[in-house]
Chains A and B, each alone.
Chain A
Amino acid sequence: MKSNSKKNRLNRFKVQGLLVFALVAFAAIIAGCGSSSDSDSGSKIALVAYSTPQTAYEDGIEPGFQGTDEGDGIDFSNSFGASGDQSRAVEAGQKADYVNFALETDVTRLVDAGKVADTWRDNKYKGIVTNSVVSLVVRPGNPEGIESFQDLIDKDVEVVTPNPFTSGGARWNIMAIYGAAINEGASPKEALDSVKAVLAKTPAQPESARVALQAFVGGAGDVLISYENEAIAAQTAGEDVEYVIPDDTILIEQPAAVTIDAAQSAQDFLDYNWTDAGQQIWQEQGYRSVNPALLDKEKFPVPSGLFTIEDFGGWDKVATDFFDEENGSIAKINQELGVEAE
């Protein structure tokens, strides 16, 4: 060993140099990932949204905004994904100037984290940029003759709806079943029984709305509970499905907001959503306009028994009463169903 120590030492340095280099490079990569994209001149809007409106933004709203005086020369960096995940990412530090979620509680999370001003609802449309309704997606020709949520219980059908605990957006579906029963005169307890009866008929509760649609198109179930805009998007994508809008169903309200640190351009972009031009683009993409005067009633018939989440006290209350994972009514229904299955 000692006789060739000189050569060995040379080798040592080489190897060590390499190892040190590797580690430094590694550290640099990690550090680099952490501190990127902090330059903010206001000419680029970081948009973070739930997954469904991707096409609407990229092909409609963003080019539309860029065609206005305020939007001239403004660029976008887009991020789309599951609503809850996107909200948590922004909470954890992902750069966002403009956010759009499927559920109000995803904005509330950012208010609590100090990322969005608590005055975000103080505008004409209370922070809501698009509406939709919960619809029933059926096989071509509606062979089971599904017209209402009660039909899901009365008829011998299998129902697919996303798991309301993994998919925040699926909570609209649950509240639609609940509210429809209330509208028909059920007591809160009876309405929960209706929810339970529907959940008992689910062969699958996929993890997200997207996955649920895939499962349904792949042959699962007779009925899929889904947003009207999702159903329209599926049809546009060429899927062979139809959808029914029940007389009693819930109005889905999808909120958007700008973050506290966002430049004026993000606010301009948010405001553009509410212009006539912006709302028309949303309607073309399958969403209902939040402006009653603009609502295309041909394409989007207004159900006679339409209700809103406010009828049950708003999302903050509903999230606790229904969807608390330990004590919420729906968690309890899941447990009861689980016990019955054993």
Chain B
Amino acid sequence: MSGEAQTVNPVAPPTGKPTRAGIRLPGVGESLNKGLVVTYLGLIVLLPLAAIATKAFEDGFGGFWDAVSSPQAFAALKLTVIASLIVVVINAIMGTLIAWVLVRDEFRGKGFVNSVIDLPFALPTIVASLTLLVVYGKDSPVGINIAFTQTAVVVALLFVTLPFVVRAVQPLLLSLDRDMESAAESLGAGKVRIFWRIIFPNLAPGIATGVALAFARALGEFGSLVLISGNVPFKTEVSSVFIRGQIESDNLVGASAVSVVLLATSLLLLACVTLAQRWGLRHDR
């Protein structure tokens, strides 16, 4: 059907120069196929995004700037971006660790743990929020009360973004050639050195992909936050809830403007990740 793994799978390990292109969709038309793909993407993604951007600048750049630089919008954006950054750093470390344990270690209930990883995806986000409130609220059965704090924002985001890094790193670890590690070991490399020189470079693309996806998701997250975050302006109000308020106030320009900032931030991180990956690849060769 589609091309080889290395041409379609963004998390595939860098395997050096591809020696041959994968099979292609046959077509008198390659151009027609491309046209169809572009049309589809246009309808599903580009058109809505363009509409948001247009709306955001409807009142000119001044209107856009007024909307995103109001103290409340700024406070919400700041909280959202900082919380999301904290979340992806934790995710990068813990996600890799979880993937590692799931691939390399054998223990009872491993299959169960493996399937639990994806549950945050399946759970309706409002249920996630309710559950977090019960578990980490005032009557917390485990004695941890973080409800309505900025910590709660981070915890809720950690919950919903858990699978991204784990699932991006797992296949890389599985396909990692253990002979390389043995070879390095026999040449006298220590464990730390093996990890940083052999394993990490192979996992980095997966971690990067996971981080980028998790960041994008965290920036826009709404449902899992509405109950546990508290929504108090300037304290625990995240951008998505602020945007909700703008919509309720029939200020679509303001809502779009803040959305555009979120999109741009997400794009910026994606660009950074891509650049870092390229830089990393160049250095490893």
Interface residues of A (CB under 8 A from B): 8-9, 11-12, 15-16, 19-20, 22-23, 26, 30, 84, 88, 109, 163, 165-168, 202-208, 211, 214-215, 218-220, 323-326, 331, 334-335, 337-339, 341-342
Contacts and interface: CB of A to CB of B under 8 A. Distances in A.
B234 A341 contact: yes
Contacts of A8: 26
Given A16-B28, A214-B130, A215-B133, 9 more contacts: A23-B39, A109-B250, A167-B248, A205-B231, A207-B231, A211-B226, A220-B147, A338-B72, A342-B234
A335 B71 CA distance: 7
B241 A207 contact: yes
Contacts of A165: 233, 245, 248-249
A205 B244 CA distance: 13
A140 to B, nearest CB: 14
Contacts of A15: 25-27, 33
B251 interface: yes
B13 to A, nearest CB: 29
Nearest to B152: A204
A203 B148 contact: yes
Nearest to A219: B138
Contacts of B148: 203-204, 220
B144 interface: no
Contacts of B29: 12, 16
B232 interface: yes
Given A203-B147, A207-B241, A325 B232 contact: no
Contacts of B232: 202-205
Interface in B189-236: 226-227, 229-236
B224 to A, nearest CB: 12
Nearest to B248: A84
B36 A23 contact: yes
A329 to B, nearest CB: 14
Interface string B234-254: 111100010011111111001
A311 to B, nearest CB: 23
B61 interface: no
Contacts of B32: 16, 19
A202 B226 CA distance: 15
Interface in B30-74: 32-33, 36, 39-40, 43, 70-72
A12 B51 CA distance: 35
Nearest to B230: A204
B137 A12 contact: no
A211 B227 contact: yes
Say whether chain A's binding surface is mostly helix, strand, loop, or mixed: helix
Given A8-B26, A334-B234, A206 B227 contact: yes
26 contacts: A8-B26, A16-B27, A20-B36, A22-B36, A23-B39, A84-B247, A88-B250, A163-B237, A165-B233, A168-B248, A204-B236, A205-B231, A205-B232, A214-B133, A215-B227, A218-B130, A218-B134, A219-B147, A220-B138, A325-B249, A326-B70, A334-B72, A334-B234, A335-B234, A338-B234, A339-B234
Consensus secondary structure, chain B interface: loop
Nearest to B71: A335
The winner among B29, B229, B233 for most chain A CB atoms within 10 A is B233
B244 A166 contact: yes
A207 B225 CA distance: 10
A218 B137 contact: yes
Contacts of A203: 147-148, 230, 232
Contacts of B26: 8, 11-12, 15
Contacts of B39: 23
Interface centre among B43, B148, B236, B248 (most CB of A within 10 A): B248
B139 interface: yes
Q: Report, nearest first, the 4 A-B pairs whose CB atoms are least far apart.
A: A338-B234, A165-B245, A219-B138, A204-B230
B75 interface: yes
Most buried by B among A8, A165, A203: A165
Nearest to B139: A219
B226 A206 contact: yes
A15 B37 CA distance: 13
Nearest to A30: B43
Contacts of A215: 133, 227
Nearest to B32: A16
B27 A12 contact: yes
A204 to B, nearest CB: 4
A207 B234 contact: no
Contacts of B147: 203-204, 219-220
A55 to B, nearest CB: 20
B248 to A, nearest CB: 5
Contacts of A12: 26-29
A22 to B, nearest CB: 8
B233 to A, nearest CB: 4
Contacts of B72: 331, 334-335, 338
Of A214, A325, A334, A341, most B-chain CB atoms within 10 Å: A325
